Amino acid sequence: MDLGSILLNGLAAFLTLSIFSILYKDNPFYKFAEHLVVGVSAGYFAIILYYSSFIPKVWVPVVQQHKFIYLVPTILGVLMWTRFSRKRSWMSRYPIAAYMGIGMGVAIPVTMQAFILVPLYATMQPMGFTSLSLFNNLLVAVGVLCALVYFFFSKEHTGAFGGAATIGIWILMVGFGAGFGLTVMGRVSLLIERFTFLRDYFQQLIGLL
Amino acid sequence: MRWQYPLLIVFLGGLFMAVQYFVPLEFSERIYEYALDWIIIVGVFTMCLGLWSLFRVSLAKIQTKAPAWGYNYITLAGLFAMLILGPAFGIEEGKPFMTLFWYIYTPIQASMFALLAFYIASAAYRAFRARTMIATILLVTATIIMLRLIPLGFLSGPNQWAVNWILTVPNMAAKRAIAMGIGLGGIATALKVVLGIERSYMGKD
Amino acid sequence: MKNKFVFRNKVLLIFFLTLPFLLLGLNTSSAQEAGEVKALVDSSAQAPASPTDVVAKDAPNDNGHAIVVMWKPSADDGAGKNNVLSYEILRSDNSDTGFVVRGMVPAGTNQYLDRGAREKEDKNYFPSHKNFYYKIRAKSDVSFSESKVSAPAYAFGQWFHTGKTSIFLATAIFTFFVLLFINMAKKGKELYVRPIAGIDAVDEAIGRATEMGRPILYILGLGSAGDLATIASLTILSRVAKKVAEYQTSLLVPVADPVVLTVAQESVKAGYYDAGRPDAYKEDSVWYITSMQFAYVSAVNGLMLRERTATNLYLGAFYAESLLLAETGNIAGSIQISGTDQVAQIPFFIAATDYTLIGEELYAASAYLGREPLLLGAIKAQDWGKILIMISLLLGALAATLHFDFFVNLFRIKL
Amino acid sequence: MGFYERLMTLDRRWVYLAMALSVAIPLFISFQVPPYITPEVKSVYDFVESLKQGDRLLLAIDYDPMGMAELHPMALTISRQCFAKGVKLFFVTLSQNAPGMCEQLVSKVSKEFNKKNGVDFVYLGYKPYPGLVILSMGQNFRISFPMDYYGTYVDSMPIMQGIRNYDDMKAVIAFESGWVADSWIADANGRYKISVGLGVTGVMAADYFPYVQSKQIFGLIGGLKGAAEYETLAKAKERSASRGMKVQTVTHAVVILFIIVGNIGFFMSKKRKGKTE
């Protein structure tokens, strides 16, 4: 390990410990790491965006390939800068409108497909009481129905309807509990990774002395 | 003019893109790709506004001596270091730009992520109390799932079975129902935007 | 399902019948590589029967750069001494010469989708509206035979993707519901909506912040301005901003996306405008930090601890950072209200915040807070959407149980 | 404040400390937590254990580098177990990101046991379209793999003499981080009746459990936990999965312990309040 990488890994180890120090309480080390990473990451993101999007989507098509159809979105993009002026900032509504229109239009059918029809089709399974898998299919369908009842907004949750809604929220909670329980393992793995990094670094450091 | 045309653009853009999804023709495909480029390009230009905002707010904190104001110098230093180092030396691996990324951003990101291991434990300790039926179900399910990693002797077999059943039956039902609800709510929201009923994102004047 | 099963059985039968011959006939080399060399040398001896009835036609539901080819398998496919191992699909723009191999499929297959690229510059460019001829070459391990050349076919694009019919109909029906109920709401029909704890808490939380003289923190999540959860959250933000303006509390909205920055500024401005205090709006109350997930969270966490925010609202698209935010807010002693469309994060919000809007409740919240009839109309439409889903589910489950597959298939999406 | 109230309102920093220690201590101090052995893992182990010298086994290394932490220990342990018994191994990979990783595994394990390429094992390499490859291997391995990974014609290898297809294998054990698992079940087992055992990632485990019950697969090793179980069963020397699992077991126990402590505090203080009122 050369001096450069000792120092750089030392910086990484120092920043790791600085972030962990927030567990005790807010302190100058955490503040330092926090403010540093905000600046570095914002600069990183902007530069990467410039090279990965501005160059291939604006510079190359307009300036190099003379695809002037790309001038339209470029002008829209420039209109965003009218926001620097209070008086002209209303002109930024045009790019925002284009952004929203395209975004919402794309989202509508895709959401219908992925969030509604796919799970609906997947739940349409043969059901019955003769085998465990048939019975489980039945339970899944009943569970979906009850949980949907919970999401009803325009009807009071009373009587049998309320009963179904209560079962519905219970089923949702089982799902959330399962999600919580399953996640612990992944999070602990991340902590193991950090601890191993620190251990290895300090072992190397001690080895050098 | 300040209102009507932007709303018309939203409406036409939304309608066109929604219909486009069902038209497999080549020109429809090309327009779709072109429209996605619009979104990216608008985003690129807006980044300048973002950087300006960060710069201005950091500066304002220094000027007004807000809590921890002195640290904002570090933010600005980090920001300008990246903005200068990138174009000056290139952004390939091994260049100072990427070195800062690997030795500053990456360890901090990994450490923030690792904090979750602590927080997940304290959240479980504090929140999982059997106060109500709902809380009890949440805590019992989470505990059953977590027990799968713990040797329980003869109880481990039934536990394993319960874990698999929970994941494939009630958990599946919950996920699907939530997805359907989100789908309906999301489409309704998108429709409200396309129809111009919801337009607070455009501000008022 | 059923058809597939029968097909599977057939394939199985064919394979079992071929097995003995494979054992005898196969000794070396693959059909794909070495087989080709040999076949050229030795094409007459023991050639398998040729495939017949080759039909080429435009591939459905596409952009017009593909043709689907179907054929009747060779009589030796699955039987006979010269068993077929694979078929090669050959194409030419001339019925006599110039055939090139476009693809290969294993024995037992009787169709092939010949798809090419859209761009002229592409090596694999497939022109639309140009006639092509196909023939099929059946290959055994040592030899091959070719079918007759098909009638010409050309590729063309379609105006409607029939595999997406169910999506189209469902979207049309739901859009109709939304328009219908919004219209009814316009006419002044009163609509009941049940209370949701998390939404009622918003008012209370704003009041609390006012009493304590501390700011309200509003986090829109990490979604882009095109994410539906972000849009829903922006609507709520403008309602919250209106109340904040009325109470004269301060509002902090750090964001993680530049476009979200601009629309969030407008939403807050709209809220102040609605409250009749447009002059009280400060542009720096909505600011950009960074787009990188964990850097953003580290800054927001610092903000919570230092500004000691009275109320934190997390509404929008959240990922792993959900618990980082919620736990830190809890340490800072803030009242916290959360809501997200990210199912995986809901458990952490439930555990660590005071109120959580689950999934669809987030989308309903904007209408609740505004109590505007138009928005409430949309909620009614969502409920009717749910009724329709439930009826479809019941019928579909029944149909699946009784093997009325045609009904279940109405909901199938064939992309 | 009474004892039980204090149990309820423990400073969260004690929880953090406990978590930190429960990760750090197992990392630095070596001890073993014997995992509970699930029957699905045991049946894979029993099957491999029942193989005799000269038996042939197909190993499909289909995971990509993302699944390595969980699946690599399984593949390592099973390969070693087989080589130690003199079982002949046929390696194949159907994930485009896996060939290099699989090569490392094969050469590492074969060196440990002094096994000869082409005699004791063969690494057939990678071919695209997993579904097609799995089907074609049911007819003849040579259709997809005329040559091995290193470019040697398989017919020149002693190990491939007289080997045609699945019928010559005792079983296939496939290590999967994605949908290729479905193809092994439906195509290899469904059509060609070869016994299939699966190693899958933790998140996939619950979804593939029903196939054990329906006997479409003879065993299932799920995630890091399954890998640790297998290492324990095989008395493996290198136990990377077990090391990770040890930390996981301790931390999960600590979290559960805190939940229990919190609830004891909650119930006892409620009970006490009930008495005084």
Q: How far is C52 from chain B (nearest CA, A)?
A: 32
Interface probe, candidates A63, A102, A193, chain B, greatest B C-beta count within 10 A: A102
Chain B residue with the nearest C-alpha to that of D34: B151
Query: What domain range is D43 assigned to?
Result: 39-246
Tell which wins on pLDDT, D166 or C367: D166
- CB neighbourhood size of B30 (10 A): 12
Please check whether residue D100 lies inside any domain of the structure.
Answer: yes
| CA diameter of chain B | 75
What CATH class is the domain C191-371?
alpha beta
Extents of the domains making up chain C: 2-146, 191-371
pLDDT at residue C77, as a whole number: 77
| Terminal CA-CA length for chain A | 13
| Terminal CA-CA length for chain C | 17
Q: Collect all residues with Cβ–Cβ distance below 8 Å to B156 and sequence separation of at least 6.
A: D36, D38
**CATH entry 2.60.40.10 includes domain C2-146:** yes
- Do C2-146 and C191-371 agree at the fold level? no
148-207 in chain D: CB under 8 A from chain A? 202-203
Q: Which helix (H) or strand (E) holds D27?
A: helix D12-28
At residue D233, does pLDDT exceed 60?
A: yes
Please check whether residue D118 lies inside any domain of the structure.
Answer: yes
Please name which of D70, B123, A207 lies closest in space to residue C326, comparing C-alpha atoms: B123
The total number of structural domains that make up chain B: 2
- Answer yes or no: do D23 and A185 touch at CB < 8 A: no
pLDDT at residue A1, as a whole number: 63
Tell which wins on pLDDT, B27 or B1: B27
B152 vs D36, D210, D251: nearest CB = D36
- Answer yes or no: do A31 and C302 touch at CB < 8 A: yes
pLDDT at residue D277, as a whole number: 55
DSSP alpha helix (H) spans, C218-320: 228-247, 258-274, 293-307
A19 vs B9, B112, B146: nearest CB = B112
- Which 8-state DSSP code applies to residue C74? P
Please check whether residue B152 lies inside any domain of the structure.
Answer: no
Interface probe, candidates A24, A59, A108, chain B, greatest B C-beta count within 10 A: A108
The total number of structural domains that make up chain D: 1
D38 vs B128, B160, B167: nearest CB = B160
The reply to whether A75 touches chain B by the CB within 8 Å rule is no
> Strand, coil or helix: what is D125?
strand
Please check whether residue D267 lies inside any domain of the structure.
Answer: no
91-130 in chain D: CB under 8 A from chain C? none
pLDDT at residue D275, as a whole number: 67
Please check whether residue B98 lies inside any domain of the structure.
Answer: no
Q: Collect all residues with Cβ–Cβ distance below 8 Å to B91 and sequence separation of at least 6.
A: A47, A48, A51, B97, B98
On chain A, the residues whose CB falls within 8 A of the CB of C292 are 41-42, 44-45
Interface probe, candidates D132, D137, D143, D145, chain C, greatest C C-beta count within 10 A: D143
149-188 in chain B: CB under 8 A from chain C? 175, 178-182, 184-188
pLDDT confidence bin for D80, thresholds 50/70/90: very high
Q: A171 with A205, same domain? A: yes
pLDDT at residue C34, as a whole number: 38
Q: Tens-of-pLDDT digits for all 415 residues of chain C?
A: 444 445 555 555 555 554 444 444 333 333 333 334 333 444 455 788 899 999 999 999 999 999 999 999 888 876 656 677 788 999 999 988 899 999 888 777 889 999 999 988 888 999 999 999 999 999 877 788 999 999 999 999 999 999 999 999 999 999 999 999 998 888 877 778 888 888 889 989 999 999 999 999 999 999 999 999 999 999 999 999 999 999 999 999 999 999 999 999 999 999 999 999 999 999 899 999 999 999 999 999 999 999 999 999 999 999 999 999 999 999 999 999 999 999 999 999 999 999 999 999 999 998 888 777 788 889 999 999 999 999 999 999 999 999 999 999 999 988 7
- Please give the mean pLDDT across all residues of chain D: 90
C-alpha span between D44 and D39 (Å, rounded): 9
**pLDDT over 90 for what percent of chain D?**
60
11-70 in chain C: CB under 8 A from chain B? 61-65
pLDDT at residue C35, as a whole number: 38
Last residue of a domain, one of B71, B89, B107: B89
C-alpha span between B46 and A53 (Å, rounded): 12
Q: What is the ipTM of this complex?
A: 0.91
**pLDDT over 70 for what percent of chain D?**
99
Beta-carbon contacts below 8 Å between C and D? 48
- Answer yes or no: do D191 and C31 touch at CB < 8 A: no
pLDDT at residue C74, as a whole number: 87
Q: Which helix (H) or strand (E) holds D106?
A: helix D99-112
Question: Which CATH number do you get for residue D97?
Answer: 3.40.50.620
Query: What domain range is B12 assigned to?
Result: 1-89
Please name the amino acid found at residue B131.
R
On chain B, the residues whose CB falls within 8 A of the CB of C128 are 26
Torsion, Cα C276 C279 C284 C287, to 10 degrees, reads: 30
At residue A49, does pLDDT exceed 70?
A: yes
C-alpha span between D149 and D157 (Å, rounded): 13
**Average pLDDT rounded to a whole number, residues B75-101:** 95
Chain B residue with the nearest C-alpha to that of A166: B134
- Range list of β-strands (E), C153-266: 216-221, 251-255
pLDDT at residue D126, as a whole number: 92
Query: What domain range is A143 assigned to?
Result: 127-209
Strand-strand pairing, C111-115 and C100-106: unpaired
pLDDT at residue C24, as a whole number: 40
Please name which of A71, A95, A91 lies closest in space to residue A82, comparing C-alpha atoms: A91
The reply to whether D35 touches chain B by the CB within 8 Å rule is yes
Q: How far is A140 from chain D (nearest CA, A)?
A: 14
pLDDT at residue C8, as a whole number: 52
The total number of structural domains that make up chain A: 3
At residue A112, does pLDDT exceed 50?
A: yes
Beta-carbon contacts below 8 Å between A and D? 34
Please check whether residue D252 lies inside any domain of the structure.
Answer: no
- Which 8-state DSSP code applies to residue C60? S
Please check whether residue D15 lies inside any domain of the structure.
Answer: no
* Backbone CA torsion sign across D184, D188, D191, D195: negative
C-alpha span between D65 and D101 (Å, rounded): 8
Q: HEC states along chain A?
A: CCHHHHHHHHHHHHHHHHHHHHHCCCCHHHHHHHHHHHHHHHHHHHHHHHHHHHHHHHHHHHHHCCCHHHHHHHHHHHHHHHHHCCCCHHHHHHHHHHHHHHHHHHHHHHHHHHHHHHHHHHHCCCCCCCCHHHHHHHHHHHHHHHHHHHCCCCCCCCHHHHHHHHHHHHHHHHHHHHHHHHHHHHHHHHHHHHHHHHHHHHHHHHHHC
